[in-house]
Amino acid sequence: MADAVSDLTIMGDFLKTGLEGLVSPHLLAGILPKTNTISLAYVTGPASDPIFGETDPDIEGSGSQSEKVLPPSVISWGLLWRLLQKHYLRLAVSVVSLIGCTTCTLSMPIYSGRFFEVLIGARPESLWRLLSKIGVLYALEPLLTVIFVINMNTVWEKVMSTLRAQVFGRVLIQKVEFFDRYKVGELTGLLTSDLGSLKNVVSENISRDRGFRALSEVVGTICILFVLSPQLAPILGLLVLTVSVLVALYKRSTVPVFKSHGLAQASISDCVTETFSAIRTVRSFGGEKRQMLMFGNQVLSYQSSGIKLGIFKSVNESLTRVAVYISLLALYWLGGSKVKAGELSVGTVASFIGYTFTLTFAVQGLVNTFGDLRGTFAAIERINCVFSGVEIDEALAYGLERELKQKEVIDENYRLLFNGSIEKNQNLNLRYMSALKSSSNLFSLAWSGDLCLEDVHFSYPLRSDVEILSGLHLTLKCGTITALVGSSGAGKSTIVQLLARFYEPTRGRITVAGEDVRTFDKSEWARIVSIVNQEPVLFSVSVGENIAYGLPDDNVSKDDVIKAAKAANAHDFIISLPQGYDTLVGERGGLLSGGQRQRIAIARSLLKNAPILILDEATSALDTVSESLVQDALNHLMKGRTTLVIAHRLSTVQNAHQIALCSDGRIAELGTHFELLAKKGQYASLVGTQRLAFE
């Protein structure tokens, strides 16, 4: 329990790993001495507003890049050391067992030599006594090896789990633009193959003849050789080392052949996946022949890389033997002549045979380990490179940290996330977090006040030269519906993304009941805004769990889930599914129809009960029957909430309390349907050209 409590005290440190050093000194200077004047440094705004202070470069963005201090590396030696230190007992056991098993291994050739000497009568020792000693060695070596491997492996698995969780957490708290920049595949690669390479560098190098064991065997063998025969050791040692290193280097140079065989196999599997997942498209275009030819090509290149691989494998195999044979031959020649000259005993030469084998394999293993290390350093560099130069989303990260700090839950999962990160700066973060306002306040504000976009300017971070919104003003009156219309590319979805706080305005501000939304952290903000998209994304869990995701941190009762489903017109179809609420919806909800997915998403939002609702063309992809069911559910959902609807259907637009027409990055027209028609402006022409009247 004490352990768990101490783990809890460092909860949230993974966030700090990213946050440490991120907050500009300017910002901190504003926060530290003035915690009572809360938002002073965090949020900027009009000078007249008492809660806003000096410009905060992080908020105001572009002009302040030079002041930003970027977060430290995700994976550093310091972090690895801290994580390893947590398992010091196991590490100590590993070191002791490693020394033990290496000692056993290195003693074996000595005893083999003695064995031969006893046999030829050159050593006055009882054979059984000697055999019992050898027996003890043979028993101890595997036992100590098991202890070493189990402990080392356990430590490294634990370290890797923490690192994985931290890298995942670090990705999760990045700004949305990070996800614009990197493809999902690249991020998946970081967490699987790159971290996998770091994992393998230990887990695949703790076996005999690799890693630490190989290193200790090489060092130990050379020392013993010198003790046994100072004349023979330098020549033989050098020869074995040289031959083994050359062979190992040649074998490493063939690694690309092995890799290309792996890649050829991966492209076969890609081709199969693509063909069968798009089978209806293939069939409808008569593309079978093309797919077969494509597959044939992949198979042929797999075949040729397989044959090449076979040749290299056999050469590699033979070369290892050649290395051993050369070393043995040298030993027989040099050692034999010394025995004949009476300078060396037969037993010592017999021991040398054992050491020749040990040295040959250990050196090759060591070269392989160094090769693996090179790949691992490259992987770490890739991971750190992805996170260098990018900023975490502070408003999200601090909120998340505060939330987690409030939780009394102590379980292994929590420890995994918060183990081993940097513990300093805790006070700093707490003060910073206290600068944000409380969530209960936010809820009441959002239920009672208007949501306003005030002089909002915005460019997407990856295309900062193109201004999408330029001085946009829009007020969403509390509890009413605003329809947002405009031509394609006018910026409607951009407004939604700003309201959801996926991005922050480059200039201007968004307020709720007069409060700048940036005074609230993003996890709190997420709770008061519900978004229903045209293509709602469901998780590949059960229907019930998807609805309960509306309140992801709460234990939602089945009754509440059913209540929400009923209100969303989803209950009837759900209970007709094979396992009712426990039916799995498939990947991204693929086992359900578009309308069914939509209604589950609405039930999810109903459960969430957020005061602000955003509907992004929620019904435009549905047929008439589905649409009326979904529309019913939506009407229920919109009741009493501040709603923004991006709608292409005239009926939805007509029923809105106000219509805002977005054009050239501003709201060009605002009013009711009839007011705007009477204006005979862009809205009237949109309606006239049927682009707003699909039904």
Ligand X SMILES: Nc1ncnc2c1ncn2[C@@H]1O[C@H](COP(=O)(O)OP(=O)(O)OP(=O)(O)O)[C@@H](O)[C@H]1O
> Which residues of this protein are in contact with ligand X, per CB under 6 A?
180, 460, 462-463, 468, 486, 488-494
Closest approach of ligand X to the CB of residue 468, in Å = 5
Closest approach of ligand X to the CB of residue 503, in Å = 8
- Rounded-to-integer distance, Cα 618 and Cα 597, Å: 11
Q: Which of 468/568 has CB closer to ligand X?
A: 468
Kindly report the backbone phi and psi dihedral angles of residue 511, in degrees, each rounded to the nearest multiple of 5, phi listed first: -125, 155
Closest approach of ligand X to the CB of residue 586, in Å = 27
CA 554 to centroid of chain Cα atoms = 24
Closest approach of ligand X to the CB of residue 552, in Å = 25
- Rounded-to-integer distance, Cα 384 and Cα 395, Å: 22
Residue 554, judged by CB atoms within 10 A of its CB (0-12, 13-18, 19+), counts as: exposed
DSSP-derived 3-state class of residue 513: coil
Q: Find tokens 């025969």 and name the residue.
A: 229
HEC secondary structure over 463-504? HCCCCCEEEEEEEECCCCEEEEECCCCCCHHHHHHHHCCCCC
Quickly list DSSP for 286-314.
T-HHHHHHHHHHHHHHHHHHHHHHHHHHH
Closest approach of ligand X to the CB of residue 58, in Å = 21
DSSP-derived 3-state class of residue 672: coil
List the beta bridge partners of residue 673. none
Q: Which of 145/494 has CB closer to ligand X?
A: 494
Q: Which of 359/490 has CB closer to ligand X?
A: 490
Q: Which of 488/555 has CB closer to ligand X?
A: 488
- Rounded-to-integer distance, Cα 579 and Cα 140, Å: 56
Closest approach of ligand X to the CB of residue 663, in Å = 10
What does the block give as tokens for 293? Answer: 């030819």
Number of residues written out for the chain: 695
Q: Which of 320/533 has CB closer to ligand X?
A: 533
Q: Which of 130/187 has CB closer to ligand X?
A: 187
- Buried/exposed 472-482: b ≥16 CB within 10 Å, e otherwise: bebbbebbbbb
Closest approach of ligand X to the CB of residue 524, in Å = 24
Closest CA to 238 of 227, 246, 228: 246
Q: Which of 417/499 has CB closer to ligand X?
A: 499
- Rounded-to-integer distance, Cα 237 and Cα 218, Å: 10
Closest approach of ligand X to the CB of residue 692, in Å = 12
Strand bridging mode 666-671 / 658-663: antiparallel
Q: Which of 404/645 has CB closer to ligand X?
A: 645
H or E, element range at 456: strand 451-458
Q: Which of 469/603 has CB closer to ligand X?
A: 469
Measuring CA to CA, how many Å separate 464 from each of 177, 183, 457, 467, 499?
11, 20, 11, 7, 19
Closest approach of ligand X to the CB of residue 44, in Å = 24
Closest approach of ligand X to the CB of residue 648, in Å = 8
Decide if 164 contacts 195 (C-beta within 8 A): yes
Q: Which of 334/650 has CB closer to ligand X?
A: 650
Q: Which of 48/488 has CB closer to ligand X?
A: 488
DSSP designation for 664: T
Q: What share of the chain is helix, strand, coil (3-state, %, to 5)?
A: 65, 10, 25
Closest approach of ligand X to the CB of residue 649, in Å = 13
Q: Rounding to the nearest 10 degrees, give the CA dihedral for residues 557, 560, 566, 572.
A: 0
Quickly list DSSP for 615-652.
EESTTTTS-HHHHHHHHHHHHHHHTTSEEEEE--SHHH
Q: Which of 27/484 has CB closer to ligand X?
A: 484
Q: Which of 53/665 has CB closer to ligand X?
A: 665
**Degrees to nearest 5, angle at CA 246 with 241 and 249:** 120
What does the block give as tokens for 425? Answer: 């700066």
Closest approach of ligand X to the CB of residue 497, in Å = 7
What does the block give as tokens for 198? Answer: 């770091």
Measuring CA to CA, how many Å separate 3 from each of 162, 418, 427?
16, 13, 22
Kindly report the backbone phi and psi dihedral angles of residue 285, in degrees, each rounded to the nearest multiple of 5, phi listed first: -100, 5
Closest approach of ligand X to the CB of residue 467, in Å = 10
DSSP designation for 666: E
Closest CA to 137 of 101, 104, 102, 112: 104
Q: Which of 265/493 has CB closer to ligand X?
A: 493
Q: Which of 372/669 has CB closer to ligand X?
A: 669
Closest approach of ligand X to the CB of residue 588, in Å = 20
Closest approach of ligand X to the CB of residue 650, in Å = 16
Closest approach of ligand X to the CB of residue 491, in Å = 4
Q: Which of 501/571 has CB closer to ligand X?
A: 501
Q: Which of 242/493 has CB closer to ligand X?
A: 493
HEC secondary structure over 136-190? HHHHHHHHHHHHHHHHHHHHHHHHHHHHHHHHHHHHHCECHHHHHHCCHHHHHHH
Closest approach of ligand X to the CB of residue 389, in Å = 18
